[in-house]
Amino acid sequence: MTYELVTDNDRLAALLERLAGRDRYAVDTEFHRERTYFPQVAVLQFADVDGVVLVDALAVDLRPLADLLNGPGTAVMHAARQDLEVMERVCGTVPSHLVDTQLLAGFLGYTTPSLSNLLERELGVELPKADRLTDWMKRPLGEAQLTYAASDVTYLLELHDRLGARAEQRGRSQWVADACEEMRTELRGPRRPEEAWRRIKEVRHLKGSSLAVAQALAGWREMRAVDLDLTPRFVLSDLAVVSIAAAAPSTTDDFKGLRGVDARSIKPQVAEEILAVVAGAKGSRPTRPPSNNLPEMPAELRPAVPLVSAWVSQLSRDLELETSLLATRSDLEDLLRGTPGARLTEGWRAELVGEPIRRLVEGEATLAFDRSRGLVLEDRQQ
- Tell how many helices (H) and how many strands (E) occur in the chain: 17, 8
Is 131 among the domain residues? yes
**Residues sharing a CB contact under 8 Å with residue 3, sequence separation 6 or more, in sequence order:** 51, 52, 53, 54, 146, 147, 150
CATH of the domain at 56: 3.30.420.10
pLDDT given at position 376: 87
pLDDT, average across residues 112-133: 92
Are 259 and 127 part of one and the same domain? no
pLDDT given at position 289: 58
φ/ψ (deg, to 5) at 260: 80, -5
pLDDT given at position 294: 67
| Whole-number Å distance between alpha carbons of 245 and 313 | 42
pLDDT given at position 374: 87
With b meaning 16 or more CB within 10 Å and e meaning fewer, what string describes 169-199? eeebeebbeebbeebbeeeeeeeebbebbee
φ/ψ (deg, to 5) at 98: -140, 140
Chain mean pLDDT for the chain:
94
Is 291 among the domain residues? no
pLDDT given at position 228: 97
For residue 31, the enclosing domain spans: 4-184
Half-sphere exposure of 132 (CA within 13 A, CB side): 1
pLDDT, average across residues 12-21: 98
* Helix (H) or strand (E) segment spanning residue 219: helix 208-228
Are 162 and 255 part of one and the same domain? no
Of 139, 157, 184, the residue that ends a domain is: 184
Is 293 among the domain residues? no
Are 143 and 226 part of one and the same domain? no
Are 31 and 138 part of one and the same domain? yes
Are 211 and 325 part of one and the same domain? no
pLDDT given at position 293: 59
CATH of the domain at 356: 1.10.150.80
Of 154, 184, 214, the residue that ends a domain is: 184
At residue 99, the 3 state secondary structure works out as strand
pLDDT given at position 263: 82
Of 184, 206, 229, the residue that ends a domain is: 184
Model confidence, pTM: 0.89
Q: Which residue has the higher pLDDT, 282 or 380?
A: 282
Q: Is residue 371 pLDDT above 90, yes or no? A: no
Report the percentage of the chain scoring pLDDT > 70. Answer: 98
Is 288 among the domain residues? no
- pLDDT 10s digits, 261-310: 988 889 999 999 999 999 999 999 998 755 455 678 888 899 999 999 99
Are 8 and 141 part of one and the same domain? yes
Are 213 and 340 part of one and the same domain? no
Are 167 and 38 part of one and the same domain? yes
Is 256 among the domain residues? yes
At residue 377, the 3 state secondary structure works out as strand
Considering only CA atoms, which of 150, 231, 157 is closest in space to residue 196? 231
Query: pLDDT tier at 130 (50, 70, 90 boundaries)?
Result: confident
Are 177 and 255 part of one and the same domain? no
At residue 259, the 3 state secondary structure works out as coil
* Helix (H) or strand (E) segment spanning residue 106: helix 101-106
- pLDDT 10s digits, 203-230: 988 999 999 999 999 999 999 999 999 9
Is 110 among the domain residues? yes
Are 141 and 275 part of one and the same domain? no
Is 292 among the domain residues? no
pLDDT given at position 33: 92
pLDDT given at position 382: 56
Are 210 and 92 part of one and the same domain? no
Burial class (CB in 10 A: 0-12, 13-18, 19+), 303: exposed
CB 69 within 8 A of CB 91: yes
Distance of CA 263 to CAs 14, 230, 296, Å?
Answer: 53, 19, 45
Q: Is residue 195 pLDDT above 90, yes or no? A: yes
Are 33 and 125 part of one and the same domain? yes
Query: pLDDT tier at 48 (50, 70, 90 boundaries)?
Result: very high
pLDDT given at position 365: 93
Total domains in the chain come to: 3
Is 33 among the domain residues? yes
